[in-house]
Amino acid sequence: MKIVKRLLLALLILIVLLVGSAIALPFLFKDKLTALAKEEINKNVQAKVDFQGVDLSLLRSFPNFSLELQDYSVAGVNDFEGIQLASGKSVGFTLDLMSVISSTRPVEVKSVRLVEPNIHVVVLPDGRANYDIALPADETADTTAAEADYSNVLIQLQEYSVSNGNLIYDDRSIDVYADARNINHQGSGDFTINIYDLDTYTEVGALTVQQSGITYLKDAHATLSAIFNIEQAASKYNLKDNELMINDLQLTADGFVQLAGDDINMELAFSSPQNDFKNFLSMIPNAYIEGYEDVKADGKFTLSGEVKGTYNGDREEYPGFRIESSISDGNVQYPGLPLGIRNINTQVNVNSPSSDFDDLAVDVPRFAFTVGQNAFQGSFALRTPISDPDVKATANGIINLKELAQAFPMEGLQELSGIIKADLKADTRLSYIEQEQYERVNMDGRLQVNQVNYQSEGLPPVQIKEMQMAFTPQHVALNNFQAQLGKSDITAQGTIDNILAYFSPEKTMKGNIRVTSNYFLADEWLPEEETASAPAPAPAATAGETEIFDRFDFTMDAAIQELVYGVYTIRNGVARGNMTPNRLTVTQLSGQIGDSDFNASGLILNVFDYLFEDGVLGGNIKMNSRLMNLNQFMEEEEGAAPTTAEGEAYSVIPVPPNIDMTVDANIGKLVYTNMELDDVNGQLIIAEQAIVLDNVKARGLGGAMALSGSYDTKDVENPSFRFKYDLQQLNFRQAFSTFNTFQQLAPIGNYITGTFNSTMIIDGKLGSDLMPKLESINAEGFLETLNGLITGFAPAQAIGQKLNIDYLKNNINIANSRNWFTIKNGTLALQEYDAKVKDIAMKIGGTYNITNKMNLDIKAQIPRKLLEQNAIGAAASSGFGLLQKEASKLGLNIQQGEFVNVLINLTGDIQKPQVGLKLLGMDGESSAGAAAKDQVKAEAQKAIDEGKQVVKETANKAVDSLKTVAAQEAEKARKELEKKAKEEAQKALGNVVDSTAQKKADDLLKDATKEGADKIKDNLDKWNPFGKKKKDGG
């Protein structure tokens, strides 16, 4: 009994240990597996791989280990930036437990599960694919061979599955686009042995396939049950039992596909074991409707084909293929529709025996059908399609579109009517037409379209009133085309000189076309803008639909009386020129938008690559205009605070990417916000999401100006600008009321009447209202006043009030001044400059910032008599009385100087200035002590000369120190003078020392000012609009 108890206890302990291990092991090895997963993925891919969580479990797949990456994504880089290759809810792996525990064995993967994956495969025209993300062998770390990259992982799959997946395959190299939704797939097999069977089942809820603009499948339901015999050593995949169902059509195939280096060898044969026409009909887009089982259809259908040979994209080697299909005595009647389609008969044979597609042969000896009471029939044959298309074709009959709408379901159709009549034949080669051997050209007939009305959901109504095409040996002529497209009318005539070039991808169609319209509403035919996240290449169908437009050489002549695009209306539009593959030569492009007119000519390159292939639009355009009002093209920002003089606010105008174009403009009058310029000419370079203005000249604001610079929107949230202005003889009032930035950085300009010259370089950031962010502005330059009066300027009035000098309060003459300045982060620094207001000499300098706070110093030399004249009746707190008090504090007598030197400090708000006065000393002579002063000056000068070394060393430190040293040396001379002149001599000596020290300080300031001005001048000379430093000598 004890033994049994012990056994039971041991068994219980073992169970507890096993369960505990099953729970604990995932946590013990979670960090190891997470690090391993990220390491193995990231070190071997050229992509951005991420996952939000890792789930580990031993119980879920006991005795194996389960690893699940949750909310994963694989995003492209470089040319595939913004395109997500893969994402999904989870990807799970079943791993061999012992391989996870062991530090010496590679981790063995036994199964893979993808839950709700979204796969987006993109192949560019040059063959590069976004799924090719594995790093080249020589770029992976710590390996000598590519295989070593995966030494930590061993693939030993036994099964794999996909649940509720989606796949987009966008192959631009062959113009194929496929969209598969709701994919469920599972496969099983022993991947560990060399030869094994892979048993698979796939279901696709909705499959759409397009090629070269033609939709072959639309939302078709598809299932594939297939067994593949796989020979791993030979990389050979053999088809065994298989069945493909597309809607109601069953297909089977036999053969193999083998990978041999860069070659893909294949030998496949396919056929449809069914022979009912109704099964084939289910594949036609829009034909497979809900309740298809109620569709009445009869007739016979056959389909067979084969693909045999080698595919190698690098060598442009392709396998041969053959397709044969036929329909005989087909009839179809849809429930709820009054008419059916009868007598459907056709036979199609396509044979391409080799990689040379010039050997391709297409034969359609007959196609025929009857709708209502009208029959239509024809034939088609094509040989040598690449080198010299040889076409035999016929078409004869009538199609009543109203009857067709009553016989075949069309999704979203609201109205269809009209008559198409065809009676034409062709039997010729393209070379006969190109060599004008018209006697060998058999081409004759007419194609007529009358009173066609088409209305579909989401599109404007289309009415083709008349279209007539005549086929002759010389050309195909479009004699008359009249249509109403929604609210737009259009009339066209033209010719195609070599229509057979349509069949050859290496040939270019030539012709001419003339289009006229009284009114065209472009908005009806342009897709609405969508807020897209990451950009993705357009479906290959787009490329296929537009490929033909990259193969023509057409002369065009278009005239549109009124073209409406968004908020713009172009009147009297004319476009003339020639379009060749990706090259548009414009001889005239003219029109009028509002009160603006334009007339352009030049060359535009890569039009279709830009529109459909993300190419770069290039060219060179010359544009002339009598009047260009740019305000019409600026987007008004809803709810924005007014910023311009007229109270309008504008939003940022992004410069589109992928444009490299030069525009030479000549504009008679240019209107921009509240500014008007005349005779504007210069060059605009549009590139890299920026507009560069080079040597733009204009007249306006009372003078002339030259402008170079750039407007950059690479960062559309923070656009920037950098410009150089050369302004000549501009009117102060006009300029400062026009340039909002000038108003805020230098508001004194609003109080000046007169003219000025200025050169300035400026850069900064723009706000969302397209106005400069003042705190970001940096600038350097100078302003020269040719003539000017300052009127009503509060700081000047405050100075006049403080000094009791009336002519400083108003009408201050500032003619012929040169003012050097810098602006850094929105703060204006005025380099000290000389000025004179009547008898008052000044040195002015200081700063002013965007908060309207100023700190200006004015060193003024004021005639003493002027102060005395204004002292009568004045308050003691201003003018002469105030300065006398200041002099008394310093022990000076301002009565002894001809001039009084005053430091005026302006601070505070420009509308409420604060004025501070500081007495610096006196200059000049008084009649009372002139003789004594001369003698004292002579002695003092001698003493100063003896001690000049001391003065020189101390002058740079402080003016007060200089005074002290000079006074000590001069005291020796004063003792020898007569007593009666002692007081006068002391006063005179004080004046001489003050003047000497002040002169030294002024000299130093002049040197500093000159140095600052020279630096600004050098920066102005070196500036260039492209933002690159000039090389030496250039």
- What is the SS3 string spanning 629-685? EHHHHCCECCCCCCCCCCCCCECCCCCCCCEEEEEEEEEEEEEECCEEEEEEEEEEE
Q: How would residue 152 be classed by pLDDT, with cut points 50, 70 and 90? A: low
- Report the SS3 class of residue 302: strand
* pLDDT exceeds 60 at position 441: yes
Percent of the chain scoring above 90 in pLDDT: 35
**Rounded to whole angstroms, how far apart are CA atoms 918 and 654?**
54
| Closest to 686 measured CA to CA, from 654, 717, 720, 726 | 654
Confidence of residue 149 (pLDDT cuts 50, 70, 90): very low
For residue 548, what pLDDT is reported? 52
Signed CA dihedral, 971, 972, 973, 977: sign only: positive
**Minimum mean pLDDT among 65-79, 179-193, 383-397, 868-882: which range?**
868-882
pLDDT of residue 943: 41
- 3-state helix, strand, coil split of the chain in percent (to 5) is 25, 50, 25
pLDDT at position 283 is 86
What token pair was written down for 476? 């195909």
For residue 976, pLDDT over 70 is answered with: no
**Amino acid letter, residue 923:** D
Q: Are 658 and 615 in contact (CB under 8 A)?
A: yes
- Taken in order 1028, 1029, 1033, 1034, is the CA torsion positive or negative? positive
Of 871, 878, 919, which is closest to residue 897 (Cα–Cα)? Answer: 919
User: Which helix (DSSP H) or strand (DSSP E) does residue 42 occupy?
Assistant: helix 2-42
Asked whether residue 796 carries a pLDDT value surpassing 80, the answer given is yes
**pLDDT at position 401:** 95
Which of 457, 525, 459, 458 is CA-nearest to residue 490?
525
Integer Cα distance of 349 and 569 in angstroms: 52
For the segment 1009-1034, the average pLDDT, to the nearest whole number, is 56
Q: What is the pLDDT of residues 752-770, one digit of tens each?
A: 899 999 998 989 898 887 7
Average pLDDT over residues 150-169: 82
pLDDT of residue 265: 95
pTM above 0.85, yes or no: no
The pLDDT of residue 638: 46
Which range is least confidently modeled, 393-407, 857-871, 981-995, 1016-1030?
Answer: 981-995
Token pair of 553, please? 């050489």
Q: Which of 45, 161, 136, 149 is nearest to 106 (CA)?
A: 149
Neighbours of 59 (CB within 10 A): 11
Give residue-wise pLDDT tens across range 12-45. Answer: 444 344 444 444 445 555 566 556 666 667 677 7
- What SS3 state is found at 433? helix
Q: How far apart are CA 632 and CA 990, in angstroms?
A: 69
Who's near 810: CB < 8 A, 6+ residues apart?
A: 791, 792, 796, 797, 800
- pLDDT (0 to 100) of residue 182: 96
Strand partners, 376: 369, 397
Which pLDDT tens digit goes with each residue over 925-936?
333 333 333 433
Give pLDDT tens digits for 195-244. Answer: 999 999 999 999 999 987 788 888 999 999 999 999 989 999 999 999 99
pLDDT at 948: 41
The mean pLDDT value for 858-871 works out to 82
| pLDDT tens column, 527-568 | 655 443 344 444 444 444 445 556 778 999 999 999 998 878
Which element (helix H / strand E) includes 346? strand 341-352
Q: Bigger pLDDT: 770 or 602?
A: 602
At residue 607 the predicted structure's pLDDT band, cuts being 50, 70 and 90, is: confident
pLDDT bracket for residue 11 (50, 70, 90): very low
Q: Has residue 600 got a pLDDT over 60? A: yes
**pLDDT attached to residue 988:** 36
Burial 592-610 (b: 16+ CB within 10 A, else e): bbeebbbbbbbebbbbbbb
Spell 319-329 as b/e; 16+ CB within 10 A means b.
Answer: bbbbbbbbbee
Of 852, 973, 846, whose CA–CA distance to 908 is shortest? 852
Considering only residues 44 and 911, tell me which one the structure prediction assigns the higher pLDDT.
Answer: 911
Maximum separation of any 2 CA atoms in the chain, in Å: 145
Instruction: Provide the Cα torsion 577, 578, 579, 584; round to 10°.
Output: -60
pLDDT of residue 371: 95
- Of 12-26, 84-98, 565-579, 1003-1017, the range with the lowest mean pLDDT is 12-26
pLDDT number for residue 1014: 66
Q: What is the pLDDT of residue 1016?
A: 64
Instruction: Tell me which residue has tokens 């770069």.
Output: 616
Beta-bridged to residue 471, according to DSSP, are 445, 476
d(CA 33, CA 41): 12
User: What's the confidence (pLDDT) of residue 313?
Assistant: 79
Mean of the per-residue pLDDT values of the chain:
79
Which of helix, strand or coil describes residue 311?
strand
Q: Given this model, what pLDDT does residue 53 score?
A: 72
Q: What are 654-696's pLDDT values in tens digits?
A: 888 888 999 999 999 988 877 888 999 999 999 988 989 899 9
pLDDT digits 0-9 by tens, 256-303? 999 998 899 999 999 998 889 999 999 888 888 888 888 999 999 999
Distance CA 74, CA 117 (A): 11
Predicted pLDDT at 586: 93
Return phi, psi of residue 415, to 5°.
Answer: -155, 140
Has residue 774 got a pLDDT over 90? no
3-state secondary structure of 567: coil
Q: In this predicted structure, what is the pLDDT of residue 506? A: 76
Sign of CA dihedral 520, 525, 529, 534: negative
Percent of the chain with pLDDT over 70: 77
pLDDT at 1012: 58
**What's the confidence (pLDDT) of residue 973?**
37
Give, in order, the Cα–Cα distances in Å from 341 to each of 59, 292, 370, 603: 62, 16, 6, 51
**Chain Cα centroid distance, residue 547:** 25
More confident residue, 608 or 523: 523
Considering only 41-45, 48-52, 488-492, which range has the smallest mean pLDDT? Answer: 41-45
Name the DSSP letter for residue 315. Answer: T
Give whole-number Cα distances, 467 to 405, 448, 919, in Å.
Answer: 21, 6, 95
d(Cα 276, Cα 478) in Å, to the nearest integer? 42
Sequence letter at residue 789: L
> Left, alpha or beta for 582 (phi > 0: left; psi -120 to 50: alpha)?
left
Residue 562, pLDDT score: 95
CA dihedral of 69, 73, 78, 81, whole degrees rounded to 10: -170
Categorize the per-residue pLDDT at 910 as very low, low, confident or very high, splitting at 50, 70 and 90: confident
Whether 521 has a pLDDT exceeding 70, the answer reads yes
What's the rounded mean pLDDT across residues 874-889?
68
Instruction: Answer for the pair 781, 742: CB distance below 8 angstroms, yes or no.
Output: no
* Contact indicator for 407, 334 with CB cutoff of 8 Å: yes
The encoded tokens of residue 52 equal: 């939000």
Close Cβ partners of 514 (under 8 Å, ≥ 6 residues apart): 492, 493, 494, 556, 557, 558
Backbone angles phi, psi at 150, to 5 degrees: -110, 25
- Three-state DSSP class for 821? strand
332 Cβ contact list (under 8 Å, min separation 6): 277, 278, 281, 295, 296, 297, 340, 341, 344
Cα–Cα dist 797/803, whole Å:
10
Pseudo-torsion of CA 702, 703, 709, 715, nearest 10°? 0
Task: Give the pLDDT band of residue 1027 (cuts 50, 70, 90).
Answer: low
Cα separation of the two ends of the chain: 107
| Distance (Å, whole) CA 125 – CA 538 | 12
- Domain-wise residue ranges, the chain: 518-527+538-615, 627-790, 793-810+832-924, 930-1034
